[in-house]
Structure 1
Amino acid sequence: MKSYHKTISVIVLLAVVLVFGLAGCGKDTEQTVRIATKPMTEQLILGEMLAMLIEENTGLKAEIIKGIGGGTSNIHPALVKGEFDMYPEYTGTGWSFVLKKEGIPGDGELFAELTKEYREQYDLEWVGMYGFNNTFGLVVRKDIAALHGIETYSDLAPYTKDLVFGAEYDFYEREDGYDALCAAYGFNFSKAVDLDIGLKYPAINSRQIDAMNIFTTDGQLSVSDVVMLQDDKNFYQTYYCGTVVRRDTLEKHPGLREALMLMDNIINEADMARLNYEVEGAQRDERTVAREYLRSKGMIK
């Protein structure tokens, strides 16, 4: 009988430990926010920045789920379901891909409608816009720009007859690609070259081509002998980046909104290109790069 009572006592004790243990695990989970990122260098950097600012300014832990395949197509539905709490997203992607909108209004009108429909349709908010626009851009060799005083796409047009243009295959096939761009600005390049995306910067740096399409936060921009021109007719849609976050996550965690707003307007295109290069070109760890940048802004210890 004594052995029986001892066994029961042990079972009860283990049950109590298990219950409190599970309760503790639940509490830890409630104090952790999950940040998803797309499989892009700048998203990995931004995810680290968000995590650091959250942990520095709230009592929360931040878990980063890095480089999710499919990007928005997989992250957005998972966010709506509650599998993630937040992720960095681009206004153009939200407008065209998530909301399936046609036509591109001005930035102010677009953002007002975008944020309204995200709240109403998905119970999501955009909190903190980082400051950079990662969209298509156009660059020309620096010596050519200096010779002719070229600053805008329109400035470039009269000289294209003597210049060679380079782009990856997809750019020539897009509806908003080469043909549409040339029609909008009156470009008439002497030659258009199809290049692998990884060969474009070597080609322009070695003067095999004179102008090419880019993304405005390409890491190689910060170390290449090129000038990025101003899209003076606003041909390309803007893709400003900010944090999309679940509203119930914001309500559950006082102070989280303020922590996310610390990211507001802290990074321009040149900064983002340089940070991307630090990871891609200099082979540095994205967490180290993110930490150094936030420290340089006096935002973390």
Structure 2
Amino acid sequence: MKKSTWFKWGYLLIATMIVVGILSLFRNRAHQSIVIGSKNFTESQVVSEIYAIALEKHGYQVTRKQNISNSVVYNALKTGQIDLYPEYTGTIVQAYLKKSTTGKSAKQIAQLAKNGVVKDGLTTLKYAPGNDSQGMAIRTSVAKKYHIYTLSELQKQASKVRLVSQGEFDQRSDALPGMNKLYGKYNFKSVKDYDDSLKYQVVDAGQGDAFPVSTTEGQLTETNKYTVLKDDKGLWPAYNLVPLIREQTLSQNPKIATILNQVDAKLTTKTLMQLNRQVDVDGQNYRTVAKHWYQENFKEGD
């Protein structure tokens, strides 16, 4: 065989090996385990598990890294320790990007979040209708007695209402001071601070009437006992649930967007409240709750 022919076959063999190697690399990447994280509270754990189940049902290998501290989870994503986790649009803008959400709609906040995380090699998918925002609740019996269903009505009737608070809420600019500034001074009948974990016990014991909440807390499903007041002047921004994911992970696994967007579309505020209730009030395991919810909402192959 001529020398030139050997060279041709040699080049062909090398080129073939390179192509096979590249294809193998992409196949391996496609089958790498997707590492899903969560923060260390119920709602994040449940939603993270729902994401994991959804991806597994579509053939992805998933590794779970749940219960990550709020203070480090974003950095864990940036540095590639995890690939994605459930976050909130308002948290991204205010806590990570250090930008204001004042006067902005849920859509505008979500867009700010999406644009802002690009510098860190991250992106957001579609945000859920579920909004885990700051809120104020009141005993339903008191709401009915004094016709208090908005923060404006609470301000007018504050002298008849006992506030069950925490020291932090009394001082944060976006909490009671913010309410005083936007709605007018709240001259509550009394203001007493308790540990946040005790607030429902205090209210149920009749020792207080109104109290700060996150709007997806499971106890709030008991509308006969508690009424969430409407923030009628828009003091508190939207904190819509949203998958936060590494750009590299998404580019290698583009179908993740479709899968998780379908999940998030069903996660309303009411749904999140019910999921939280099953864990925090009924005492069920969050993984069991997530599994049952997914089975009820998605057929095999969806």
Query: TM-score, length-normalised on structure 1?
Result: 0.84
The answer as to whether partners of 1:164 and 1:209 remain within 8 angstroms in 2 is yes
Distance 2:170 2:36 in 1: 35
Residue of structure 1 in register with 2:233 after alignment: 233
Distance 1:299 1:42 in 2: 23
Distance 1:169 1:221 in 2: 22
Distance 1:63 1:299 in 2: 23
Residue of structure 2 in register with 1:194 after alignment: 193
Alignment RMSD, CA only?
2.2
The answer as to whether partners of 2:35 and 2:62 remain within 8 angstroms in 1 is yes
Residue of structure 1 in register with 2:113 after alignment: 114
Residue of structure 2 in register with 1:243 after alignment: 243
1:296 Cα deviation (Å)?
2.2
Q: 3-state SS of the aligned residue for 1:189?
A: coil
1:199 Cα deviation (Å)?
1.5
Q: Deviations over 1:176-207 (max 9, x none)?
A: 22233133223221111111112211111222
Residue of structure 1 in register with 2:258 after alignment: 258
Q: Deviations over 1:225-246 (max 9, x none)?
A: 1100110111112211110111
Q: Deviations over 1:227-269 (max 9, x none)?
A: 0011011111221111011111111124222111112321222
Distance 1:266 1:32 in 2: 25
Q: 3-state SS of the aligned residue for 1:128?
A: coil
Q: Which amino acid aligns with 1:107?
A: A
Q: Which amino acid aligns with 1:135?
A: S
The alpha-carbon distance between structure 1 residues 115 and 170, as it changes in their structure 2 partners (threshold 3 A), is: same
Q: 3-state SS of the aligned residue for 1:35?
A: strand
Q: How does 1:167-186 map to 2 (within 5 A)?
A: 167-186=165-184
Equivalent of residue 90 in structure 1, options 88, 91, 97: 88
1:157 Cα deviation (Å)?
2.1
Q: Which amino acid aligns with 1:53?
A: A
The answer as to whether partners of 1:294 and 1:300 remain within 8 angstroms in 2 is no
Distance 1:27 1:83 in 2: 18
Distance 1:179 1:75 in 2: 29
Residue of structure 2 in register with 1:278 after alignment: 278
Q: Deviations over 1:139-178 (max 9, x none)?
A: 1111122233332111222211111111112111212222
Counting aligned pairs with the same residue, the percent is: 26
Distance 1:233 1:210 in 2: 22
Q: Which runs of 5 or more structure 1 residues have no equivalent in the other structure?
A: 1-22
Equivalent of residue 163 in structure 2, options 150, 153, 165: 165
Residue of structure 2 in register with 1:218 after alignment: 217
